[in-house]
Amino acid sequence: MMSVLVVADHRRGELRDVSYELVTAGRELADALGGELAVAVVSGDTERFAESLNRPGVDRIYAVENGEEFDNTVYTSAVTELVERADATAVLAPNSVNGLDYAPAVAERLDIPLVTDAIGFAFGDGLTVTREMYGSKVETTVAVDGDRFCLTTRGGEFEPAEGVGDAEVESVEIDHPESGARVKGFEEVGGGDVDIADADVLVSVGRGIGEEENLEVVEELADALGATLSASRPIVDSGWLPKNRQVGQSGKVVTPDVYIAVGISGAVQHVAGMKGSDTIVAINTDPNAPIFDIADYGIVGDLFDVIPELVAQFE
């Protein structure tokens, strides 16, 4: 029977949201193939991670204990062996820093095709994968030629799997080859105070705020909402906020419950990083700004008039 193997993603002791999205994507692909869905949890708190990922539609969970942090050698050998153990037709990994580290190595070792940054797929006579190119201006469809394949999927493109499943959890020991590199720990570098990808509410600022001093006005709104402050690339490039606050194709993909865009025009590179938000609110003086095309709610006005009114409503 054909099966799909999904590889969970975690960092600093917590599962990433994309792990639950991968379960949804993996179940869709397994249904198309007429097979089972297996989830691999490698390193970290495997018992807790396995329990959390035991969602409806998951048939089996493989738990591989090996330290706390990501290690390319460990992941490559573990995922390769689990593909064989599960007799998997497809491997689904996150299009994250870690996923893009080991997925190519797994594909090379198994001699199977790899397609990265997938935002959708379909399986009929064969697999076709949808990707974006040229700064998300164009969608392309890639036909995958092979009996087995590996995909990395972009975060925020699939609904997170919910509920409680009844999958069997199997502890697996893997013999890892010796490597010249070993991960000893994790150290956050460069403004690691928050992770905007985990925020429920984001207030995001763009070049439309004018000057750095005007950040204080937007921060008042974020404080009133209990939200996290994020930004488009021009703000980060100007040094007004650190890199870890950047939303977009060259920053982070975010999927908060509410995304408030203040002074952001809506360039495709930025939209690619936040279009999966549940509710998008745009505040801009330009009624023709592209951000209004994807916003659920739009306010045409000056932020110095609009934001104090909003703060007064929420305080």
The letter for the amino acid at 148 is R
- pLDDT of 33 higher than 90: no
Mean pLDDT of 223-229: 92
DSSP-derived secondary structure for 171-234? E----PPP-S---------SSTT--GGG-SEEEEE-GGG-SGGGHHHHHHHHHHHT-EEEE-HH
What's the token pair of residue 304?
A: 């110095």
- pLDDT of 108 higher than 90: yes
Percent of the chain with pLDDT strictly greater than 70:
93
Confidence of residue 311 (pLDDT cuts 50, 70, 90): very high
Q: What's the CA gap between 203 and 225, in Å, rounded?
A: 9
Mean pLDDT of 175-189: 64
CA neighbor of 155 nearest in space, from 112, 123, 196, 104: 196
Query: Mind listing the pLDDT tens digit for each residue in 112-152?
Result: 999 999 999 888 788 899 998 776 678 899 898 888 999 99
Count of CB atoms within 10 A of residue 217's CB? Answer: 17
Work out whether the CA dihedral 28, 30, 34, 37 comes out positive or negative.
Answer: negative
CA neighbor of 233 nearest in space, from 247, 219, 222, 244: 247
What's the token pair of residue 79?
A: 């995922």
74-78, 152-156, 242-246, 248-252: segment of lowest average pLDDT = 248-252
Backbone angles phi, psi at 144, to 5 degrees: -100, 120
Higher pLDDT, 313 or 39: 39
CA neighbor of 281 nearest in space, from 262, 266, 265: 262
Query: Mind listing the pLDDT tens digit for each residue in 243-295?
Result: 889 998 878 888 899 999 999 999 888 988 898 899 999 999 999 999 999 99
What confidence score (pLDDT) does residue 123 get? 83
What's the token pair of residue 3?
A: 């099966």
pTM: 0.72
Q: Which residues contact 135 (CB under 8 A, 6 or more apart)?
A: 249, 268, 269, 272
Q: What's the CA gap between 226 and 220, in Å, rounded?
A: 10
What confidence score (pLDDT) does residue 5 get? 95
Upper half-sphere CA count for residue 222 (Cβ side, 13 Å)? 20
Confidence of residue 186 (pLDDT cuts 50, 70, 90): low
